[in-house]
């Protein structure tokens, strides 16, 4: 066996801590606790708060209670082989209770007649007598003096490790390491943070403690105020380090990178906006002003354009691209799917038909010759606008690229920048999110990005009515759909998406459903879509033109189906979530979503956004298949009653938790250890404010007082955010 290290450090394997050993060390590794440092910073997931001593007449079933008294009777009442019951009576001036322990005969040696004890647990009424089963028992001194009840930490566990063992392991790590911890928050920073947190009305009775006191108090707090101060210190520290990294990156994007200045002028602005055959909203005008200001500077615009479905984000993208072309540069628009890329191509081609702007399409279904021709024209400057999919990432060169627009809805993260350069100069970036982003997410995942929000919808859009259907409603609903068809409207019927292993569309078109939904949907296969198609085309809507669209169709087949639907040659389109993003058919006003419990709130809202894009009112009805959990039902009720995408985004974030949104898969940022951006939004706002002030005063944190903090920042975020040395 390897010799134990002579000195314990944060990197010392956990097995070498006193009382751990190789076997338990192996078990701890299953929950990511490999080193002594991992144990030290394995913060409790909860705490056990002991109830203050009570009286017998105040006991209530199901409510934890403590009681101090004398043992007036104690015996093992059952000696069945292999089984035993130890019973004792605890009595004080307010009455008597019985305590019971099953199969713990050793209790007879601990809890004996005439001993003073404090018991804690949940009492149950058995007949006329209160009983505590397996309570905690503390033996008291002869004079009955009671130590202040301790708050006990509750840690995450793994098989083979008990809670009291975890407490010992963490205590062992604390004893070995706490005195050697480096303080990364100077005292003046802690003091200013304490004042700012209190100004933000955070209940912080004690100041933020220094590191040794904080690590002791977060594991073994003296009282609730002590615990609050310690937890707030570590939450603030974690969020501050993140916000410092993002602020540093924001500054570097504006000082180290260079882009071509593409300024707007009143004449150019009028030339572009006069091409839109409708009145712009106030939000759209403001967004154009912000983008025009950014693109006029000689460092890259890095702007996220978020808006609810139907708020007119594409109009803003067209304005930005025309601004680049008007300044003699090229622009590129990347869409998440080929269907949407081709739709953008058609829209722009129609709008710019009588102009000198040259537009190219680049997507996966092009022939080799077509792709080569488009690439050559882009490199020669014979194309002004290139529209396409991820194929743009591979081997494309531009003569003079000025702007990159990424229509990536909610799939865009910190590391997902497109590496398109032209002559050593970075283009300006505009990223569009079709899913409104909660404020806390905008300050974390998108913390290095400038944010533009469209809340106002263009006038003339029909209202969408949403219904949570019951099984007995189906026949009535199909009759209503028939009436809408009689009025000349068109209809979507959406079936659950197929498993990612079967079809690309679950990974490509949708990130919002949970992995357990993927698994549930895996058994469906595309046949579920085809079954619904068969039922509707042969029975319910046998006299209508019913179309079928799903991910197994070729790109040409998908395109043909969508064009037929858009042209009115299909009345009812049975589809998977391939239509979730950006499909625009103004005459489609009715949508039926089957198996709705399988979809996330954001995805349901995106689907709903496909209807009533014209003047007619819309109707969406969601049906579940089989039973749904309480959480699924709550999600569907929120969807039924909330039409605002920003409210839904906040509700979705609360229901799903930050893990789904802030995981490394989507954001490129490491997961948070203790902070929760939902619950800790006020602390996040304070951390962001202090971080920005700090970077404004010392952009590289070069003052020696920041050295430990900078080292922690670089170790955690340096590589991920391309900030330089990893520390």
Measured distance CA(272)–CA(479) in Å, rounded = 46
| Averaged pLDDT for residues 633-645 | 88
Measured distance CA(230)–CA(77) in Å, rounded = 47
Measured distance CA(415)–CA(309) in Å, rounded = 25
Please give the CATH number for the structural domain made up of 464-643. Answer: 3.40.50.300
How far, in Å, are 266, 463, 576 from residue 475 at the CA level?
Answer: 57, 24, 22
pLDDT at 598: 85
| Averaged pLDDT for residues 78-88 | 83
pLDDT at 5: 63
Instruction: Compute the mean pLDDT over every residue in the chain, rounded to the nearest whole number.
Output: 84
pLDDT at 455: 83
3-state DSSP assignment of residue 643: coil
Task: Return the beta strands (E) in 571-626 as ranges.
Answer: 572-575, 588-593, 618-622
Backbone region of residue 695 per phi and psi (left: phi > 0; alpha: psi in -120 to 50; beta: other values): alpha
Measured distance CA(492)–CA(504) in Å, rounded = 21
**Can you give 39-77 as a three-state secondary structure string?**
HHCCCCCEEECCCCECCHHHCCCCCCEEEEEEEEEEEEE
Query: 95-102 and 85-92: which strand pairing?
Result: antiparallel
pLDDT at 668: 53
Is 390 a residue whose pLDDT tops 90? no
8 Å CB contact between 566 and 559 = no
Q: What are phi and psi of 337, to 5 degrees?
A: -135, 155
Is 300 a residue whose pLDDT tops 60? yes
Model confidence at 500, in pLDDT bands (50, 70, 90)?
Answer: very low
Give the number of other CB atoms < 10 A from CB of residue 200: 14
Burial (Cβ within 10 Å: 0-12, 13-18, ≥19) of residue 676: middle
Span of 56-70, 626-640, 673-687, 704-718 with lowest mean pLDDT? 626-640
- Specify the higher pLDDT residue, 488 or 643: 488
Measured distance CA(378)–CA(396) in Å, rounded = 8
How far, in Å, are 446, 510, 511, 542 from residue 411 at the CA level?
Answer: 12, 9, 7, 39
Span of 156-170, 296-310, 389-403 with lowest mean pLDDT? 389-403
Measured distance CA(160)–CA(23) in Å, rounded = 9
Does the reported pTM lie above 0.75? no
- 618-648 burial string, b = 16+ CB within 10 Å, else e? bbbbbbbeeebeeebeebbebbbebeebbeb
Alpha helices in 443-586 (DSSP H): 474-486, 505-508, 515-522, 527-535, 555-566
8 Å CB contact between 621 and 593 = yes
pLDDT per residue over 361-378, tens digit each? 998 888 889 989 999 999
Max Cα separation, the chain?
101
Which residues pair with residue 331 across a beta bridge?
Answer: 385, 403
Measured distance CA(316)–CA(288) in Å, rounded = 6
| Averaged pLDDT for residues 113-131 | 91
Tokens 């595309």 belong to 526
- The residues of the chain that CATH labels 3.40.50.300 are 266-454, 464-643
Chain length of the chain:
727
- Residue 358 CB contacts under 8 Å (≥ 6 apart), including other chains: 377, 382, 383, 384, 385
| Averaged pLDDT for residues 223-230 | 95
Is 401 a residue whose pLDDT tops 60? yes
- The residues of the chain that CATH labels 2.40.50.140 are 50-150
| Averaged pLDDT for residues 449-472 | 83
pLDDT at 669: 63
Tokens 């019971």 belong to 100
| Nearest CA among 310, 259, 319, 223 for reference residue 607 | 310
- Residue 111 CB contacts under 8 Å (≥ 6 apart), including other chains: 71, 74, 86, 88, 99, 117, 137
Q: What is the fold, at CATH topology level, of the domain defined by 50-150?
A: OB fold (Dihydrolipoamide Acetyltransferase, E2P) (2.40.50)
8 Å CB contact between 9 and 3 = no
Please give the CATH number for the structural domain made up of 266-454. Answer: 3.40.50.300
| Averaged pLDDT for residues 175-189 | 94
3-state DSSP assignment of residue 719: coil
Give the number of other CB atoms < 10 A from CB of residue 251: 16
Considering 146-160, 233-247, 517-531, 580-594, the range whose residues carry the highest mean pLDDT is 233-247
Is 666 a residue whose pLDDT tops 60? no
Considering 223-237, 410-424, 511-525, 527-541, the range whose residues carry the highest mean pLDDT is 223-237
The encoded tokens of residue 717 equal 């975020």
Measured distance CA(28)–CA(159) in Å, rounded = 9
Model confidence at 581, in pLDDT bands (50, 70, 90)?
Answer: low
Measured distance CA(218)–CA(142) in Å, rounded = 32
pLDDT per residue over 14-48, tens digit each? 999 998 999 999 999 999 999 999 999 999 999 98
Is 391 a residue whose pLDDT tops 70? no
**Can you give 104-126 as a three-state secondary structure string?**
CCCHHHHCCCCCEEEEEECEEEE
Return the percentage of the chain with pLDDT > 70, whole number: 86
pLDDT at 72: 94
Return the percentage of the chain with pLDDT > 90, whole number: 50
């Amino acid at each position: 066996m390897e010799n134990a290290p002579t000195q314990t450090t944060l990197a010392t394997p956990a097995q070498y801590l006193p009382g751990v050993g190789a076997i338990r060390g192996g078990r701890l590794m299953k929950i990511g606790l490999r080193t002594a440092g991992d144990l030290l910073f394995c913060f409790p997931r909860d705490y056990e708060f002991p109830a203050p001593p009570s009286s017998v007449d105040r006991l209530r079933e199901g409510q934890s209670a403590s009681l101090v008294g004398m043992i007036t009777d104690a015996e093992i009442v059952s000696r069945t082989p292999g089984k035993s019951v130890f019973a004792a009576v605890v009595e004080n001036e307010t009455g008597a209770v019985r305590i019971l322990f099953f199969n713990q005969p050793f209790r007879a040696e601990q809890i004996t007649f005439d001993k003073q004890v404090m018991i804690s647990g949940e009492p149950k009424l058995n007949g006329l007598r209160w009983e505590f089963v397996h309570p905690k028992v503390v033996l008291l001194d002869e004079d009955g003096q009671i130590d202040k009840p301790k708050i006990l930490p509750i840690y995450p566990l793994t098989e083979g490790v008990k809670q009291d063992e975890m407490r010992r392991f963490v205590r062992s790590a604390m004893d070995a390491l706490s005195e050697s911890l480096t303080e990364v928050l100077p005292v003046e920073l802690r003091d200013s943070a304490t004042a700012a947190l209190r100004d933000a009305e955070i209940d912080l009775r004690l100041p933020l403690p220094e590191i040794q006191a904080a690590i002791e108090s977060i594991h073994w707090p003296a009282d609730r105020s002590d615990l609050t101060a310690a937890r707030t210190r570590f939450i603030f520290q974690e969020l501050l380090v993140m916000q410092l990294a993002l602020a540093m990156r924001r500054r570097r994007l504006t000082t180290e990178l260079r882009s071509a200045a593409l300024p707007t002028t009143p004449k150019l602005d009028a030339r572009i906006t006069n091409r839109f055959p409708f009145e712009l909203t106030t939000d759209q005008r403001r967004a154009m002003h912000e983008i025009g200001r950014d693109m006029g500077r000689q460092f890259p615009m890095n702007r996220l354009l978020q808006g609810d479905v139907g708020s007119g984000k594409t109009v803003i993208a067209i304005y930005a691209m025309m601004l680049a072309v008007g300044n003699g540069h090229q622009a590129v628009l990347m869409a998440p799917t080929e269907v949407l890329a081709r739709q953008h191509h058609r829209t722009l081609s129609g709008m710019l038909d009588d102009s000198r702007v040259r537009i190219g399409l680049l997507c996966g279904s092009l022939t080799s010759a077509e792709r080569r021709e488009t690439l050559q024209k882009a490199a020669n400057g014979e194309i002004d606008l290139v529209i396409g999919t991820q194929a743009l990432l591979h081997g494309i060169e531009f003569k003079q690229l000025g702007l990159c627009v990424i229509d990536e809805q909610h799939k865009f993260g910190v590391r997902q920048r497109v590496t398109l350069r032209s002559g050593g100069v970075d283009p300006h970036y505009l990223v569009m999110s079709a899913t409104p982003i909660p404020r806390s997410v905008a300050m974390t995942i998108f913390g290095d990005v400038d944010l533009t929000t469209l809340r106002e919808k263009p006038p003339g859009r029909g209202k969408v009515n949403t219904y949570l259907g019951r099984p007995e409603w189906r026949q009535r609903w199909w009759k209503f759909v028939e009436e809408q068809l009689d009025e000349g409207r068109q209809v979507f019927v959406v079936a659950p998406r197929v498993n990612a292993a079967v079809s690309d569309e679950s990974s490509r078109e949708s990130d919002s459903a949970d992995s357990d939904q993927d698994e549930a949907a895996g058994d469906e296969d595309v046949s579920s879509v085809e079954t619904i198609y068969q039922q509707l085309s042969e029975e319910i809507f046998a006299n209508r033109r019913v179309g079928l669209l799903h991910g197994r169709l070729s790109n040409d087949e998908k395109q043909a189906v969508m064009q037929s639907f858009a042209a009115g040659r299909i009345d009812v389109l049975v589809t998977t979530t391939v239509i979730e993003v950006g499909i625009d058919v103004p005459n489609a006003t009715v949508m039926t979503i089957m198996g709705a419990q399988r979809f996330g709130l954001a995805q349901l809202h995106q689907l709903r956004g496909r209807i009533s894009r014209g003047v007619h009112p819309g109707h969406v009805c969601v049906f579940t298949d089989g039973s749904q959990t309480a959480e699924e039902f709550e999600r569907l009720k929120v969807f039924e009653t909330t039409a605002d995408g920003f409210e839904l985004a906040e509700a979705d974030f609360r229901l799903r938790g930050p893990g789904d949104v802030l995981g490394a898969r989507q954001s490129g940022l490491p997961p948070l250890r203790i902070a929760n951006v939902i619950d800790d939004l006020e602390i996040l706002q304070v951390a962001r404010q202090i971080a920005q002030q700090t970077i404004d005063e010392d952009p590289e944190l070069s003052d020696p007082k920041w050295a430990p903090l900078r080292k922690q920042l670089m170790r955690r975020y340096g590589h991920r955010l391309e900030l330089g040395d990893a520390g």
